[in-house]
């Protein structure tokens, strides 16, 4: 199985290399047979990478500790599920996982386009195969997961998976995040194909919109699951610390979101053509940059791998792929001029452009804060860390403006907005925003930034509900039906518009949770004796005892605590401290009592030798669950957008056609 895995990596490299060269020649010579051959090589490469992955998983499951990767990230005593997740728990395995997902996406793209987009496919195949070939090259020669120990030196057991990764969220978080990262390769490939083939109409946008949406959905799920993992596993009371690896997953999401907004202007008005190519290029490069950050060892992060020789190779690929994209964009720039000019700054076109610029500005601020420690070390020889206050100070104003535009952009008129348009579309939402702000003020909020955000959330929420209401009422006028039936038909027949509104509503819900938990959390550090009570906010907790237990992997000390609110029981808390036998490092397991209003978060920080006294780190985090609910709404709405609109009845189609003819004649 070891030798088979090695041969599979070499075969995958050969097939992807052939596919890149053959597809490039086929595109230049317009040779259909050679293009088909290149596409078939990607299909074969997928089968080969699946075989290599199956070999590594088999070695992990059978405790084959002759393999260095298996000995480093698995052990005979860990549960089977964590032996499986060790597949992506280390550097070499995670790169094989990357290649597997990329090969699968290449397969899907090839099958989808067997009989369409034939002018684009040879060049798109060349880019996809070239990217896959690079990762197969890394696996075959730089970080081979099938490397073995010299004869007679293999350990009898492995080191086991990092205890921090032995968590249910880490079973699904990395694969989902990889699906988002790697999904951006396909839009990049088709964008480059459009430039190389000179097919610069909107056909490449139609292909890439769905692929970008897929990547956007998985990126959203990926960094959210990472936040949930950090919240439950790291014991610091928060879910987002502006860690470099967290940032590296958020930055391509920002550019993908900007692209999904920008292409609406291109499709409607023929504007921002050049800008779309730039957005796709940077989104892809940021996904590679995230891989570089994680695997180069140039930054310190709980999420990153150790220092390795992959950093220079990833940096070279990042540089070459960027130069490749810039070359083709510059070469075709004279053919990417906008078909129309912007008529007014008070128009939907202008607000969408401002929306894009804000996404880019937030991303630039995050990027600068992420790379500044690296730059400072290169220049001064001293690594200067950029912490959360910098990111918060820079991003809060930009995020507030972007949140407000979330309500304005879809409702403002095309070309030039009039006072009548403002009054009709924004009077009620503005009143709703003032109502939300007033309610927050009444409930005791006195800080300016939270008040502004709550007001903006109210404004956007009323924009969304008001638009659904107006649309449903208008549809009731066309067809005699109930309001709910009209609302359902309206949404199903225009998923792109109303699914976008649902995403905006999810953004509002998430922001309410983010602002509440960021500005109004409360923490305490208390040391108490057995039987004593202590408080956090309005809750009373009673420490009963410390208990010890052991299992084959670790020793455990846990506290038994009962909680009360106004003398009413709210449940028991069991915060734990784990001492893993292999790593010899303590690890906290927090206890959380969750409600929609707040989370009571308890960490066992320390205790005395006779287990009669303990120190607890307590957090009262308001409305954290709203963050997860809001992002869940965004993801579900993204999935909703993926499916085609419901077809209207024949009579409705005829009416719409007549209305369109009258409009064009006028």
Phi, psi of 257 (to 5 degrees): -65, -40
pLDDT score at 254:
96
Tell me the range of 316-325, 483-492, 647-656 where mean pLDDT is highest.
316-325
Tell me the range of 413-417, 488-492, 549-553, 613-617 where mean pLDDT is highest.
613-617
pLDDT score at 68:
94
pLDDT score at 662:
46
Could you give the CA distance from residue 471 to residue 516 in angstroms, rounded to a whole number? 32
- The tens digit of pLDDT for each residue in 383-403 reads 777 888 999 999 999 999 999
pLDDT score at 562:
96
Structure tokens of 540?
A: 């009373």
Q: Which residue has the higher pLDDT, 123 or 381?
A: 123
Tell me the range of 241-250, 518-527, 583-592 where mean pLDDT is highest.
518-527
- If you average pLDDT over residues 191-211, what whole number do you get? 93
pLDDT score at 665:
42
Could you give the CA distance from residue 137 to residue 38 in angstroms, rounded to a whole number? 18
pTM of the model: 0.92
The average confidence (pLDDT) of the chain is 89
- The tens digit of pLDDT for each residue in 559-578 reads 999 999 988 999 999 999 99
CB atoms within 10 A of CB 647: 10
Nearest one of 125, 172, 96 to 15, comparing CA atoms = 125
Could you give the CA distance from residue 260 to residue 183 in angstroms, rounded to a whole number? 14
pLDDT score at 301:
55
Q: Which residue has the higher pLDDT, 616 or 472?
A: 616
pLDDT score at 666:
38
- If you average pLDDT over residues 429-434, what whole number do you get? 92
Biggest distance spanned by C-alpha atoms of the chain: 89
pLDDT score at 655:
54
Q: Which residue has the tokens 């405790």?
A: 63
Alpha helices in 531-644 (DSSP H): 624-642
Q: What is the 3-state secondary structure (H, E, C) of 540-558?
A: EEEEEEEEEEECCCEEEEE
Helix axes 448-478, 388-408, angle to 10 degrees: 30
pLDDT score at 663:
40
pLDDT score at 302:
52
- If you average pLDDT over residues 129-135, what whole number do you get? 97
pLDDT band per the 50, 70, 90 thresholds, residue 299 = low
pLDDT band per the 50, 70, 90 thresholds, residue 583 = confident
- The tens digit of pLDDT for each residue in 154-176 reads 998 888 888 888 888 888 888 99
- The tens digit of pLDDT for each residue in 232-275 reads 988 899 999 898 888 999 999 999 999 999 998 888 888 889 99
Please check whether residue 135 is in contact with residue 17, taking contact to mean a CB–CB distance below 8 angstroms: no
Could you give the CA distance from residue 607 to residue 199 in angstroms, rounded to a whole number? 68
Strand partners, 563: 541, 571
pLDDT score at 298:
62
Tell me the range of 164-168, 190-194, 349-353, 641-645 where mean pLDDT is highest.
190-194
Q: Which residue has the tokens 């690890």?
A: 587
- If you average pLDDT over residues 40-44, what whole number do you get? 96
- If you average pLDDT over residues 633-661, what whole number do you get? 71
Could you give the CA distance from residue 24 to residue 8 in angstroms, rounded to a whole number? 24
Please check whether residue 134 is in contact with residue 143, taking contact to mean a CB–CB distance below 8 angstroms: no
């Amino acid at each position: 199985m070891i030798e088979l895995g090695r041969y599979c990596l070499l075969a995958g490299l050969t097939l992807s290399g052939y596919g890149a060269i053959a597809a490039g020649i086929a595109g230049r010579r317009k040779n259909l047979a050679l293009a088909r051959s290149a596409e078939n090589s990607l299909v074969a490469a997928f089968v080969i990478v699946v075989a290599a992955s199956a070999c590594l998983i088999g070695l992990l499951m059978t405790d084959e500790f002759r393999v260095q990767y298996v000995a480093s990230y698995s052990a005979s005593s860990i549960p089977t599920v964590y032996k499986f997740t060790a597949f992506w728990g280390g550097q070499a395995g995670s790169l094989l996982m990357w290649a597997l997902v990329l090969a699968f996406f290449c397969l899907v793209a090839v099958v989808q386009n067997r009989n369409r987009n034939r002018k684009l496919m040879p060049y798109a195949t060349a880019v996809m195969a070239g990217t896959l070939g690079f990762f197969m090259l890394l696996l075959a020669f730089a970080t081979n997961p099938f490397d073995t120990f010299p004869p007679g030196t293999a350990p009898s057991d492995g080191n086991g998976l990092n205890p921090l990764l032995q968590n249910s969220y880490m079973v699904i978080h990395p694969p989902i995040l990889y699906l988002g990262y790697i999904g951006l390769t396909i839009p990049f490939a088709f964008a480059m194909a459009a430039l190389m083939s000179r097919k610069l109409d909107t056909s490449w946008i139609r292909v890439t919109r769905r692929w970008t949406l897929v990547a956007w959905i998985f990126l959203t799920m990926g960094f959210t699951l990472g936040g949930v993992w950090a919240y439950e596993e790291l014991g610091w009371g928060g879910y987002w610390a502006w860690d470099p690896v967290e940032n590296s997953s958020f930055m391509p999401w920002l550019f993908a979101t900007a692209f999904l907004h920008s292409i609406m202007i291109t499709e409607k008005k023929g504007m921002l053509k050049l800008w779309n190519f730039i957005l796709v290029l940077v989104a892809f490069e940021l996904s590679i940059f995230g891989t570089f950050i994680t695997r180069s060892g140039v930054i310190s992060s709980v999420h990153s791998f150790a220092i390795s020789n992959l950093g220079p190779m990833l940096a070279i690929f990042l540089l070459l792929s960027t130069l490749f994209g810039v070359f083709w964009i510059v070469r075709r720039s004279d053919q990417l001029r906008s078909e129309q000019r912007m008529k007014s700054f008070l128009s939907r076109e202008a607000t969408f452009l401002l929306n894009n610029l804000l996404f880019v500005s937030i991303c630039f601020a995050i990027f600068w804060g992420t790379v500044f420690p690296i730059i400072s070390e290169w220049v001064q020889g001293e690594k200067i860390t950029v912490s959360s206050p910098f990111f918060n100070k820079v991003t809060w104003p930009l995020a507030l403006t972007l949140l407000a535009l979330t309500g304005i952009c879809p409702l403002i008129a095309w070309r030039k907005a009039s006072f009548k348009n403002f009054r009709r579309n924004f009077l009620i939402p503005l009143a709703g925003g003032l109502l939300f702000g007033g309610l927050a003020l009444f409930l005791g909020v006195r800080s300016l930034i939270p008040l502004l955000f709550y007001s903006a959330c109210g404004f956007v929420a009323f924009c969304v509900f008001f638009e659904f209401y107006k649309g449903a009422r208008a549809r009731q006028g066309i067809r005699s039906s109930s309001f709910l039936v009209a609302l359902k038909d309206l949404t199903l027949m225009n998923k792109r518009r109303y699914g976008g509104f649902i995403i905006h509503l999810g953004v509002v819900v998430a922001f309410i949770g983010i602002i509440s938990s960021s500005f109004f959390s409360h923490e305490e550090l208390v040391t108490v004796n057995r039987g004593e009570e202590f408080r956090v906010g309005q809750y009373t907790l009673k420490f009963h005892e410390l208990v010890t237990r052991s299992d084959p992997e670790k020793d455990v000390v846990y506290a038994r605590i009962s909680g009360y609110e106004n003398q009413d029981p709210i449940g028991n808390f069991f915060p734990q401290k784990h001492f893993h036998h292999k790593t010899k490092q303590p690890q906290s397991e927090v206890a959380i009592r969750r409600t929609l209003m707040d989370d009571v978060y308890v960490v066992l920080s320390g205790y005395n030798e006779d287990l009669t006294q303990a120190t607890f780190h307590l957090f009262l985090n308001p409305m954290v669950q709203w963050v997860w609910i809001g992002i869940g709404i965004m993801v579900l709405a993204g999935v909703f957008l993926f499916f085609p609109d419901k077809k209207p009845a024949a009579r409705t189609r005829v009416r719409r056609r007549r209305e369109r003819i009258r409009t064009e004649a006028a």
